[in-house]
Amino acid sequence: MVEDRAEIRVGIAEGAIMRGPGRLVTAGLGSCVGVVIYDAEARLAGLAHVMLPGSPSPVTNVPQKYADTAIDWLVREMMRAGASRLRLRAKYAGGAQMFQGVKMEALRIGERNVQAVQKELADRGILVEGTDVGGHQGRTVWFEMPSCLLTVRTARGDMRML
Amino acid sequence: MNPYDLSAADLDALREFGNIGAGHAATAFSTLLGGVVRMSVTDARLCPFGEVVEVVGGSDTLVIAVYIRIEGEIEGNMFVVLSPESAERLLNQLIPGRTPGDPYGEMEYSALGEVGNILSGAYVAAISDLCGFRMTQSIPAVAMDMASALLDIGLMYGSGEDNQVLLISTRLTHGGREIQAYFFLLPDFHSSSELFDNLRGKMSSG
């Protein structure tokens, strides 16, 4: 938990909670998905860099790594920090297929990650306010509080705001 | 038992394993381009996710990667990673009549894929002979993007519950640093026990 204007960088398969104002950043999302859950009124936001669709077991040391346990972790940590369950909203980006032209199940993981994130959020009744998923490009993303905007930048320098 | 509970001797054996593979890849690279190819000392270690991409300059760094999936008795992911500058020099050398700086088209991608194929073929053949493993490699896939975005598939398959992977990496340099290629081999988590059992057997039998 960081007070005041902060920039928190989240590594692969990691997560962080921020008490705004500030910025949560994760760089180089390929097939991984960057999921943000936030409460605009409480100025709280959490980001997880999700790598795989499902946890092999419900108890894991690295809940941020899997879509199912990452979303549970985000909701739990947000609530603990004082967020309101009913005000929670989500934005997410990522889930690309980086290597094209090869039919390999391994390379379809991005699509499966996106499906899992979508389902886990829907199962918990968390409204999704914006997404930028799929395609064949990597993404660096940052979420800003208090604007609640998720900015997506590709390696070519294209920018999108959600 | 955690298969990643490794001794110094295990890592030495893994380094030697990578050296043998990369040595054959270096020979193939030199045959392909002519001239001398130098090889760095192979680095073999258990590595947190963040450090894997640091090897090539950090998660946002623009790189070209050739991805090859290895299957069989030992499974894993192999990447041949080049900087845009090195890839450009390599392409100018491989494609006669190419105008330097031209945007990449099908020809460029397929040339890079073929280089990855030849180098990984030599590497895989050498380690499979050494250990007596039956291994096959996929056709290569090529992409240019942020390092971390390209390498993340390797991290997925290589890690268990602690966000670490076994990274075997070697740098090949052709013609006075003009062309540098990094070789990354990331064995799958589920294959690592078998790999170390084999390597330990080799060490104890001298």
pLDDT tens per residue, range B123-134: 999 999 988 999
CA B45 to chain centre: 14
Q: Give the chain A residue whose CA is nearest to the CA of B137.
A: A104
Token pair of A86 as six digits: 């009913």
**B142 with A106: Cβ contact below 8 A:** no
pLDDT at B1: 46
Contacts of A58 in chain B (CB under 8 A): none
Distances (CA, A) of A62 to A42, A125, A128, B151, B162: 26, 24, 24, 19, 7
Place B141 in a pLDDT band, splitting at 50, 70 and 90.
very high
The tens digit of pLDDT for each residue in A95-118 reads 999 998 767 777 789 999 999 999
Is A148 considered catalytic here? no
Q: Do A102 and B141 touch (CB under 8 A)?
A: yes
| Chain A positions in Cβ-Cβ contact with residue B77 (cut-off 8 Å) | 106
Of the residues A17, A18, A32, A52, only one is catalytic, namely: A32
Residue B3 in this model has a pLDDT that exceeds 70: no
Give me the architecture of the B8-205 domain, per CATH: 3-Layer(aba) Sandwich (3.40)
CB pairs under 8 A between A and B: 103
- Mean pLDDT (chain A, rounded): 93
Taking only the tens place, the pLDDT of each residue in A8-63 is 999 999 999 999 899 999 999 999 999 999 999 999 999 999 999 999 888 888 99
User: At B202, is the pLDDT very low, low, confident or very high (cuts 50, 70, 90)?
Assistant: confident
The pLDDT of residue B60: 86
Closest CA relative to residue A153, chosen from A161, B105, B75, A124: A161
Residue from B67, B153, B155, B162 to probe the interface with A (highest A Cβ count within 10 Å): B153
Cα B30 from Cα B49, distance rounded (Å): 31
Task: Calculate mean pLDDT across residues B16-36.
Answer: 92
For residue A30, the chain B residues in CB contact (below 8 A) are 145-146, 148-153
Average pLDDT over residues B96-103: 89
Please report, rounded to a whole number, the percentage of residues in chain B having pLDDT higher than 90.
Answer: 64
pLDDT at B124: 94
